[in-house]
Structure 1
Amino acid sequence: MRSDDKLIKDCLSGNKQAQYELYQRFSGVLFGICLRYARNRAEAEDLLQDAFIKIFSRLDSFGFKGSFEGWLRRLVVNLAINFRRDYLKQFFVNTEAGLPDAEAAEASDASDMTFIPREKLLQMIQSLPDGYRMVFNMYVFENLSHHQIAELLEISENTSKTQLMKARKRLRLMVEAELAMNKISVKS
């Protein structure tokens, strides 16, 4: 197996086998990111296809500094954000006044979700309204601050905090319902 650097150089020289190998090596992890941001599997597949088109067209801009997988992840996240940005604007409710428990929600513990199978939890996240899902993914999976999320989505920080709080509340209700069906109690 080629190193990432060798694989990139071979891709840049037009080696089709290297391009296929790059796709095979990273498509799984990148598809996981697409699934988190997409409304459904078909949309995630479209995002992944668009991502690889962008990856191959921008591969020369990598620069061999830092992690190649990190560069790929950031590219896919940015693509997903841009894909949804205009669509999402209609779902955000301006909450400049904020809610008093928005900060508390930020500090809440999501350890209850460890009892839910990963696939089921992914389905729950995908079922969130677009605005909630985007903020939740960016905060939880991409480790972005509310300030960064606000800038990327062109919303206020309070809106980001509120969307996260609402996403967590909905997820908690879904988790509680799932655990109740399986007769498992949820910590409060």
Structure 2
Amino acid sequence: MKVIDLHSDEKNLIKEAAANNRHAQQRLYSKHSGKMLGVCRQYIKDLHLAEDVMITAFMKVFANLKNFEHKGSFEGWIRRIMVNECISYLRVQKKVGFLEDEYYKEESFNNIESNLSVDDIQSLIDSLPEGYKMVFNLYCIEGYKHQEIAKMLDISEGTSKSQLSHARKMLQEQVNKLKNYENGTE
């Protein structure tokens, strides 16, 4: 039985791509673009704009490959660049506003058993105000802590917590409306 070192193969591919080997860059792009488009789509409603941001972010990935230290996941490194590019895009477009709300109420939310599809859930998230959506995605999807989010978005930690609380409440209300509509009680 022959054992293939896949990690070494990816390391060599990254090294070749960092040396501007277009074929290696294309292979990295092909391997990661589907998942990274999904990341960008979490932040940017319009699929075509999300794709544009993803392509711009991949240009940054290729320009900075020599800085990747092979500590941790390569996919995680790319994902961080994608998220940062989405945030930059939304800032430039002035589509994100944060209500400075240091006071928030920690609320418990019911686990929702629903027949919602992934597209339905994405649609609900897309309907959130941009600030709520960004903090929700960074915290719930990407796994950042409020302190990290505050630093990334140049807001206070309390504002990050408040935005998340408001986003969760709004999503809960939307899901309840959908459930009532499906049950014919609205």
TM-score range, shorter chain: 0.7 to 0.9
Q: Determine whether 1:70 maps to 2:37.
A: no
Q: Determine whether 1:44 maps to 2:44.
A: no
Aligned mates of 2:145, 2:18 — CA distance in 1: 35
Aligned mates of 1:61, 1:50 — CA distance in 2: 18
Paired amino acid for 1:111: N
| Contact 2:149 2:160 survives alignment (8 Å) | yes
Q: Which runs of 5+ in 2 are unaligned?
A: none
TM-score (norm. length: structure 1) = 0.84
Question: Partner of 1:4 in structure 2?
Answer: 10
Question: Between the two proteins, what is the percent identity of the paired residues?
Answer: 38
Paired amino acid for 2:42: R
**Structure with the larger RCO, 1 or 2 (CA within 8 Å, 6+ apart):** 1
CA 184–176 in structure 1, closer or farther in 2 if over 3 Å, else same: farther
Aligned mates of 1:25, 1:110 — CA distance in 2: 37
Question: Partner of 1:138 in structure 2?
Answer: 138
Question: Partner of 1:129 in structure 2?
Answer: 129
Give 1:20-99 correspondences, 5 Å limit: 20-85=26-91, 87=94, 91-96=97-102, 98-99=103-104
Q: Which runs of 5+ in 1 are unaligned?
A: none
| Contact 2:36 2:82 survives alignment (8 Å) | yes
| Contact 1:113 1:175 survives alignment (8 Å) | no
TM-score (norm. length: structure 2) = 0.85
Aligned mates of 1:167, 1:50 — CA distance in 2: 28
Aligned mates of 1:66, 1:114 — CA distance in 2: 36
Q: Which deviates more from structure 2 when the two are superposed, residues 4-13 or residues 43-52?
A: 4-13
Aligned mates of 2:163, 2:146 — CA distance in 1: 10
CA 153–66 in structure 1, closer or farther in 2 if over 3 Å, else same: same
CA 128–18 in structure 1, closer or farther in 2 if over 3 Å, else same: same
Query: Aligned Cα RMSD in Å?
Result: 2.3
CA 137–25 in structure 1, closer or farther in 2 if over 3 Å, else same: same
Aligned mates of 2:37, 2:154 — CA distance in 1: 25
| Contact 2:44 2:50 survives alignment (8 Å) | yes
| Contact 1:40 1:126 survives alignment (8 Å) | no
Paired residues, number:
178
